[in-house]
Structure 1
Amino acid sequence: MTRPAETRLRVGVDGVRARAVAVDGEGRLVAVHRGRRGDSPARVLDALFRRGAGTASTDRVVAILPDLTLAGSARRARVGVLRIGAPAATAVPPLAGWTTERASLAGPVAMVGGGHEYDGRVAAPLDVPAVAAFARTCAGKVDAIALTGVNALENPEHEQLAAAVIAEELGPDVPVVRGAETEALGLLERENTAVLDAALARAARAHIDELSASVRGHAPGAALYLVRGDGTVLPALDGYRHATAWRGAALGGLLHGAARLAGVPSAIVVEVTADRAVVGTTIDGLLPDSGLPREIDGVRTGLRAPRLTVIQRRDAAFTGRLHAALARAGGGPDELPVVLVGEAPDDLPALPGIAPIRPEDGDLAAAFGAAAAEAAGSVDRIFWQGTGGGQDSVTRARMLALDAALRAGADPRKLRETPVREALMTYVPVPAARLQVTAVGPLLELADVAAVEP
């Protein structure tokens, strides 16, 4: 494989399957490394660069990291948990529903006065002395703090102020994870996600720092991103506090990468292994949402699970179930192509009426998906429809999604949006609607940053 010397390269690392690729600006593979399962992402990246991938010409490195769990992490942090919302939000305490074993990761747990109403108005003043007192009880006892405020999605001011107070008391070495950093409707789901992220912060730092050192050693000018569970990207600096965001990244990257290797914008993708087949859909760079929350270690989080079907190969009705899954995955007016990848795509029995695409180098689908991954921002929340009515809410939702995509690294000149989905909230005493929208686009090239600056 050869490349022009001036070509800027994007490197994708599949840290689960031990694959790495370098891709040029035209989407062509220019370097490949196939390692052995168990090789660390940093080792896989090192090997790719030794095989001739450009260093000075590498624009970015995008990595799929292994899922982190409480059970599998020897480096999970002990967490201080603070909820802002007393007295209104004290009926169900933090960590409700957690098993005793899982809840043992918590250090001091407290609820303090503060929080906001559904429309962003202050419900009660933030009890700053109580926040400071909580921080002092955590000194020397915790490695991270998780704090969540009532209606902080609508107004994060109390979360931000409390985080500043805690940082002043405990210093910069104790990360503070805020619930409003997760786009989730429910207080408990945001809180659970923040606690899990805080508990995994030390393990996340170890993984990211090792990979960062490899990037700096080979391509110090390259930006580092991580793949999220939906196949889009997360800036590496944000990954320190959001390990749950990359859960499922190996499959999310594979679904997008398989379609791109096949040369189609949207597809039904089937990953076939010796034991199972996983059916998923990618639509113009996004994974359809199952509508179900993702559970991690038995804890309900604010993350959304993609729509997937898993079929065990030993199932006597395997072929019939696979046909049914393909029919469901393609539900819509347009017939989507079927792409087969994985360890054993050729072992799949013939499917009448379906001519699947088997892309060359299909085992590199996830790494290729990482190299070509885009940045996205999503909004899923309830908007109070005040004097401006529903259209103002829709405009605000779109702007929030666009802003989130830009923060993730998207090129503002190439953003595209999904249609806004609206569900009226008829059971609340004020006009309100749940709005969902996503903005997505390719990553801004480092050399093009000046072109979009005012």
Structure 2
Amino acid sequence: MKRIGIDVGGTNTDAVIIDDDVVVHSVKRPTTEDVMDGILAALEALLRESEVPRTDIGAVMIGTTHFTNAVVQRRDVAKVAAVRIGLPAAATLPPFVDWPADLRDLVRGPIHMVRGGYEVDGRPLVPFDREGMRAAARAIADSGVEAVGLSCVFSPLNADLETEAAEILREECPGIAVTKSHELGRIGLLARENVSLLNAALTTMAHKTVAAFSAAIEKTGLSVPLFVTQNDGTVVAAEEAAAFPVRSFACGPTNSLRGAAFLSGLEDAIVVDVGGTTADIGILTRGFPREANNVVEVGGVRTLFRMPDLVSIGLGGGSLCDPQNPRSIGPRSVGFRILERARVFGGPDLTTTDIAVAAGLADIGDKDRVADLDPAYVAAALDHMRLMLADAVDRMKTSAAAVPLIAVGGGAFLVPDDLPGVSEVVRVPNAAVANAVGAGIAQISGEVDQIFTGLDRTKAIETARERAEANALRAGAQDGSIEVVELEDIPLAYLPGNSLRVRARVVGNVRF
């Protein structure tokens, strides 16, 4: 069954049709201010040009920066209530304490602290204050907020209190959206709580966005399931994506990494994805993006959850260049207006695409419009771009050994053929739409990150793997197709009972 992959970038909306391991057809259309118009234009062009019958399409996979842009640009976020179960131990630093002031003012609603929680070894901290929780729920109902971020001390070890508190909230606040922190974040309380609050603030917008995606698909005459890509290079059903929009924060670069692996056949490599505004550099490990194990900031908010390890620099095909200074490139970009702003298209602005055309690296637009550029200026600008990329690649590497680099994205022509620490620069067909390819080939994932006590190592690892597989099946993976892509165990000597932290991640094919 053929699948359509779509990636909505800041400059272009790309769409491809994938049939097993073959890219049947691809299109690239400018992203519009209303992203739905761009998606609809790309879909209609793809189906018209490919002449693939609509009945041959089994699913549509969409990757979008819509949710992270809402946080970064401080728009379409809602006020939410924060409930933390952890008194008396967790009162010093209240929810939202480390948020940027402007975003905090937009999102912060009622804050309620409740007695309860767990010790680091999973024992109850103090008895759960159920009456206090119910009183907090009634106050939240009176406040009128539509979503709640719910966190509990060490809930990843035991989620019972968050589950019970969520039931109380739904009883007292019918229709309210509840985000439970253990479903998103890891052990650290503040970073995990931040993720749950960000997710809650985006829930209303996420449901509207996913509904609009579905409407755009239906307008093209397709009647197929919609999946949305996530930060780890996999997909979830549209309904779950609407409930957990933060899981799609970094799906754009992740799609490019997965697409690069698919198009090149390489499972271990550096990937440089050059878009219209930025170049994103990531590492492929066994065909999937290397995950960040440290705190990641999103819009100035510290988070710790499933995110790819990336370095982004302000170098893209639409990056503005100073005509007087070849070493002044980006981070400002003409973005999706490149077709009207870049000089090779008759516009007034000098961009990196103009530099590449003048140097003969790309055949785009009218090269006569940049024939007046000084060759010395062009060479100096290209040299500075090389230095920018070399520095970013060096920051991502974990050893001095030379490794292959895959160049993808619409601006891949900006990546030189030689870089320090790179064994070869691999250029692949359909590189300009690698992000949409990555969306189209995406699988379903299941993950567990848990501390086990009282079990031997073999049993703990097996239990984590089984739970990860169960999560993947529940999310829509095809039984029999699941494989382990990450398995890590860390002994915790400071905890009693032979404690072991196990992280397991599996992937499987989408069950249609």
- Structure 1 residue 35 corresponds to structure 2 residue 29: yes
Q: Distance in 2 between matches of 1:347 and 1:380?
A: 39
Q: Distance in 2 between matches of 1:354 and 1:362?
A: 19
Whichever residue aligns with residue 434 of structure 1, its letter is: R
When the two structures are aligned, how many residues end up with a matched partner? 434
**1:54–1:302 CA distance, 2 compared to 1 (3 A):** farther
> Are the aligned partners of 1:81 and 1:109 in contact in 2 as well (CA < 8 Å)?
yes
1:172-229 CA-to-partner distances (Å, cap 9, x unmatched) read 2x21111111141112122111100111112212211100123344466522111112
TM-score (norm 1): 0.86
SS of the aligned residue for 1:205 comes to helix
SS of the aligned residue for 1:176 comes to strand
> Are the aligned partners of 1:293 and 1:305 in contact in 2 as well (CA < 8 Å)?
no
Q: Distance in 1 between matches of 2:130 and 2:222?
A: 42
**1:110–1:336 CA distance, 2 compared to 1 (3 A):** same
Map 1:171-320 to 2 at 5 A.
Answer: 171-172=174-175, 174-218=176-220, 221-272=223-274, 277-310=279-312, 314=327, 319=386
Gaps of 5+ in 1: 1-7, 447-454
SS of the aligned residue for 1:69 comes to helix
SS of the aligned residue for 2:167 comes to helix
> Are the aligned partners of 2:236 and 2:475 in contact in 1 as well (CA < 8 Å)?
yes
1:28-70 CA-to-partner distances (Å, cap 9, x unmatched) read 2234332112262542334434544433322111101123433
Whichever residue aligns with residue 43 of structure 2, its letter is: L
SS of the aligned residue for 1:240 comes to helix
Q: Distance in 1 between matches of 2:275 and 2:213?
A: 28
Deviation at 1:142, TM superposition (A): 0.6
- Structure 1 residue 415 corresponds to structure 2 residue 473: no
Map 1:422-433 to 2 at 5 A.
Answer: 422-433=489-500
CA RMSD of superposed structures (Å): 2.9
Q: Distance in 2 between matches of 1:94 and 1:214?
A: 38
Deviation at 1:419, TM superposition (A): 5.2
- Structure 1 residue 153 corresponds to structure 2 residue 146: no
1:123-154 CA-to-partner distances (Å, cap 9, x unmatched) read 44433322222222122521211111222222
Moved more, 428-437 or 369-378: 428-437
Moved more, 8-17 or 364-373: 8-17
Aligned partner of 1:110 among 109, 112, 115: 112
Moved more, 71-80 or 361-370: 71-80
**1:275–1:107 CA distance, 2 compared to 1 (3 A):** closer
> Are the aligned partners of 1:294 and 1:304 in contact in 2 as well (CA < 8 Å)?
no
Q: Indicate the structure with greater helix content.
A: 2
Q: Percent identity?
A: 29
Q: Distance in 2 between matches of 1:376 and 1:333?
A: 32
SS of the aligned residue for 1:96 comes to coil
**1:441–1:267 CA distance, 2 compared to 1 (3 A):** farther
Whichever residue aligns with residue 19 of structure 1, its letter is: D
Q: 2:99 is matched with which residue?
A: 98
> Are the aligned partners of 2:82 and 2:149 in contact in 1 as well (CA < 8 Å)?
yes
Deviation at 1:354, TM superposition (A): 4.2
> Are the aligned partners of 1:233 and 1:408 in contact in 2 as well (CA < 8 Å)?
no
Q: Distance in 1 between matches of 2:501 and 2:151?
A: 21
Moved more, 138-147 or 258-267: 258-267
Q: Distance in 1 between matches of 2:166 and 2:15?
A: 38
Q: 1:397 is matched with which residue?
A: 464
- Structure 1 residue 356 corresponds to structure 2 residue 425: yes
**1:212–1:227 CA distance, 2 compared to 1 (3 A):** same
- Structure 1 residue 20 corresponds to structure 2 residue 15: yes
Q: Distance in 2 between matches of 1:94 and 1:11?
A: 41
**1:171–1:247 CA distance, 2 compared to 1 (3 A):** same
Deviation at 1:397, TM superposition (A): 2.0
Q: Distance in 1 between matches of 2:502 and 2:173?
A: 38
Deviation at 1:250, TM superposition (A): 0.9
Deviation at 1:299, TM superposition (A): 1.1
Q: Distance in 2 between matches of 1:121 and 1:290?
A: 29
Whichever residue aligns with residue 391 of structure 1, its letter is: T
Deviation at 1:95, TM superposition (A): 1.9
Deviation at 1:430, TM superposition (A): 5.0
Of the two, which has the highest radius of gyration? 2
Q: 1:4 is matched with which residue?
A: none
Q: Distance in 1 between matches of 2:260 and 2:102?
A: 39
Q: 2:355 is matched with which residue?
A: none
**1:207–1:430 CA distance, 2 compared to 1 (3 A):** same
TM-score (norm 2): 0.77
> Are the aligned partners of 2:192 and 2:304 in contact in 1 as well (CA < 8 Å)?
yes
> Are the aligned partners of 1:31 and 1:48 in contact in 2 as well (CA < 8 Å)?
yes
**1:431–1:69 CA distance, 2 compared to 1 (3 A):** farther
